Amino acid sequence: MRVAFLMAPVGVEQVELVRPWQAVRDEGWEPRLVSTRAGTVQAYHHLDKADTFPVDDVVADTPADGFDALVLPGGLANPDALRLDEKAVAFTRHFFGAGRPVASICHAAWTLVEADAVRDRTLTSWPSLATDIRNAGGTWVDKKVQVCHAAPGTLITSRKPGDLDAFCAAFVQEFRR
């Protein structure tokens, strides 16, 4: 299974990339870092710079149908930049249209809102996105992890780094289906 991890060149929360990436690798699946630019992605520990990670694929040159699932790590700046990139939004939207599973944590729900992928779905996120999700037609809940099987495709969402164990377990289970 090939799993795309979509993120902007700057602003991803490092733990929200590293822990799900390791969960994918632990299953023997192939994680791929997809970004809006070639080179590296600068991760953060909240507002402090952390490590950089090499980009495997550039979203403008990478067909989404080459992947079986999508993971959207959070961070404050990361999804805010992604939602302004038409190719990143289209890449995200493709997974829903194809009925493929998507996992999103923390602020990454902003990208889902922009992709019009929350309408008639129940999801969770960082609490400050609750109004955005409701305004986009979704139902926001305050839970560690929320799995929504509304067609087409499955959406697995989580609130924050403290929920990563539940998030990783849920998306691995759903991706296996």
Q: Which residues are catalytic?
A: 106-107
Backbone angles phi, psi at 150, to 5 degrees: -60, 135
Token pair 């495997």 is at which residue?
A: 56
Token pair 């403008």 is at which residue?
A: 60
The set of residues, in sequence order, having a beta carbon less than 8 Å from that of 26 and lying 6+ positions away, is none
Backbone angles phi, psi at 70, to 5 degrees: -130, 135
Token pair 């996105």 is at which residue?
A: 129
How close are the terminal C-alpha atoms of the chain, in Å? 11
d(CA 133, CA 174): 22
Q: How are beta strands 40-45 and 10-13 bridged, if at all?
A: parallel
Sign of the dihedral through C-alpha 6, 3, 63, 91:
negative
